């Protein structure tokens, strides 16, 4: 038998490139929340894929951005930590985005470790010349590989896994092979609620919101969950609650159904909306809310 391989695989790229969708496709599980809006992911999320010969420890990260407030500074720190602590770097790019901008960004963020360059969302490409893009990437980056991918449709996922395996070091598994992530269930519950906020609210509100779990109690016949949705202004609270509570009801109903699937139990979910002015720039609130 050949030796077991195991290593850390960082997933980085611009906001909305499809990093979280890719993580989910690699794992075959919905672990990370996704949305059509930029900056959906705020925390590093570890996803672990183990088989008889290898373990890949993926780290999904927030999209690379220019930090304008403290919460975004924390997001950038997470990206920088992942990029250092990685055996193979997956750089994800929306194939319709500017190639030059993406290459510049990768040159800034890459380390000595091998890079796999992923041209994602090829399912919605028109006449763009992928081979031409590939030649330019190879010329300027010298990646281990350039992979055409549709994370949404799972196209080329197996090819990508093979490519990653090739550059994993020989090492025993880092995590118990039964584990899917290093985050507790509570984290995913908060994220599933936050996903609905990104789905149903527009403009600045998703970016001014966070979700904080207050109670998670497993009872005999169900799990009781109480969470706060935190916003920065009274007007945002009104919109979050909606007319006659319609918006918060919609968020709660959909989130509850996702949580029930995830924890395989009936859920009683209670949501409260709270105003915390400037929580995104306040060290104490950021700490309390897990940033």
Ligand X SMILES: Nc1nc2c(ncn2[C@@H]2O[C@H](COP(=O)(O)OP(=O)(O)OP(=O)(O)O)[C@@H](O)[C@H]2O)c(=O)[nH]1
Residues that bind Mg ion (CB under 5 A): 19-20, 40-41
Place of tokens 């090492």: 171
Minimal CB distance to ligand X: which residue?
63
Asked if 102 interacts with ligand X (CB under 6 A), we say no
Kindly state the tokens that stand for 258. Answer: 């996702």
Q: In what order do the strands lie in the sheet with 210-218?
A: 210-218, 223-231, 267-275
Which is closer to ligand X, CB of 123 or CB of 265? 123
The DSSP letter of residue 204 is T
Nearer of residues 40 and 156 to Mg ion, judged by Cβ: 40
As a whole number of angstroms, the distance between CA 215 and CA 248 comes to: 18
CB 181 within 8 A of CB 189: no
Query: What's the min distance (Å) between Cβ of 91 and ligand X?
Result: 11
Closer of 41 and 252 to ligand X (Cβ): 41
Residue 10's binding partner, choosing from ligand X, Mg ion, none, with beta-carbon cut-off 5 to 8 A by kind? none
180 is a site residue for ligand X (CB under 6 A): no
Residue 54 is a binding residue for ligand X (CB under 6 A): no
Long-range pairs of 165-170 with CB within 8 A, sequence gap ≥ 24:
165/5, 165/53, 165/54, 165/56, 167/7, 167/87, 167/88, 167/114, 168/5, 168/6, 168/7, 168/54, 168/56, 168/87, 168/88, 169/5, 169/6, 169/7, 169/87, 170/3, 170/4, 170/5
In the complex, what is the shortest distance from the CB of residue 68 to Mg ion, in angstroms, rounded to a whole number?
18
Nearer to ligand X, 47 or 273 (CB): 47
Give the H/E segment covering residue 275.
Answer: strand 267-275
Contact 34, 23 (CB under 8 A): no
Q: Which does 123 bind (CB under 5 to 8 A by kind): Mg ion, ligand X, none?
A: ligand X
**Residue 98 Cβ vs ligand X, minimum distance, rounded to whole Å:** 16
Cα separation, 150 vs 164, in Å, equals 17
Q: Any idea which residue has 């010969």 for tokens?
A: 53
Residues 136-165 that bind ligand X (CB under 6 A): 150-152
Q: For ligand X, which is the closer residue by CB, 63 or 114?
A: 63
Find the part of the chain contacting ligand X (CB under 6 A) among 66-74, 121-129, 232-240, 273-281.
Answer: 121-129
Contacting residue, 5, 12, 20, 212, with ligand X by CB under 6 A: 20
Nearer to Mg ion, 19 or 121 (CB): 19
Both tokens of 55, joined, read: 């373990």
Residue 18 contact partner, candidates Mg ion, ligand X, none, CB within 5 to 8 A by sort of partner: ligand X
Q: Is 35 helix (H, G, I), strand (E, B) or coil?
A: coil
Q: Kindly report the length of the chain.
A: 291
Number of residues that bind ligand X (CB under 6 A): 24
For residues 204 and 122, the answer to whether their CB atoms sit within 8 Å is no
- Tokens for 16, please give them: 């909305």
Closest approach, Cβ 244 to ligand X, in A, equals: 30
Which window, 11-19, 107-115, 216-224, 263-271, contacts ligand X (CB under 6 A)?
A: 11-19
Sign of the alpha-carbon torsion through 20, 36, 38, 13: positive
Q: Which listed option, ligand X, Mg ion, none, makes contact with residue 154 (CB within 5 to 8 Å by class)?
A: none
**Contact positions toward ligand X, by CB under 6 A?**
13, 15-21, 34-36, 38-41, 62-63, 120-121, 123-124, 150-152
């Amino acid at each position: 038998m050949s030796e077991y391989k195991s290593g850390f695989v960082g997933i980085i790229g611009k906001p909305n490139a499809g990093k979280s969708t890719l993580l989910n496709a690699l794992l075959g599980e919905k672990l990370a929340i996704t949305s059509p809006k930029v900056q959906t992911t705020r925390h590093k999320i570890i996803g672990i894929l183990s088989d008889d010969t290898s373990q890949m420890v993926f780290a999904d990260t927030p999209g690379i951005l220019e930090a304008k407030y403290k919460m975004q500074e924390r997001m950038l720190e997470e990206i920088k930590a992942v990029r250092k602590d990685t055996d193979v770097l997956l750089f994800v790019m929306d194939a319709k985005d500017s190639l030059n901008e993406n290459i510049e960004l990768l040159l800034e963020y890459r380390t000595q470790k091998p890079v796999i360059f992923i041209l994602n969302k090829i399912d919605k490409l028109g006449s763009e010349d992928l081979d031409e893009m590939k030649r330019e990437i190879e010329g300027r980056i010298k990646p281990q590989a350039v992979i055409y991918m549709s994370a949404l449709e799972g196209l080329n996922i197996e090819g990508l896994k093979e490519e990653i395996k090739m550059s994993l070091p020989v090492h025993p598994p880092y995590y118990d092979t039964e584990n899917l992530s290093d985050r507790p269930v509570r984290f995913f519950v908060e994220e599933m609620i936050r996903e609905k906020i990104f789905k149903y609210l527009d403009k600045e509100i998703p970016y001014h919101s966070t979700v904080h779990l207050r109670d998670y109690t497993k009872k005999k016949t169900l799990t009781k969950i109480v969470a706060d949705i935190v916003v920065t202004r009274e007007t945002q609270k009104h919109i979050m609650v909606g007319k006659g509570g319609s918006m918060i009801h919609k968020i709660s109903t959909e989130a509850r159904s996702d949580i029930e699937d995830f924890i395989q139990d009936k859920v009683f979910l209670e949501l409260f909306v709270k105003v915390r002015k400037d929580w995104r720039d306040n060290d104490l609130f950021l700490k309390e809310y897990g940033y």
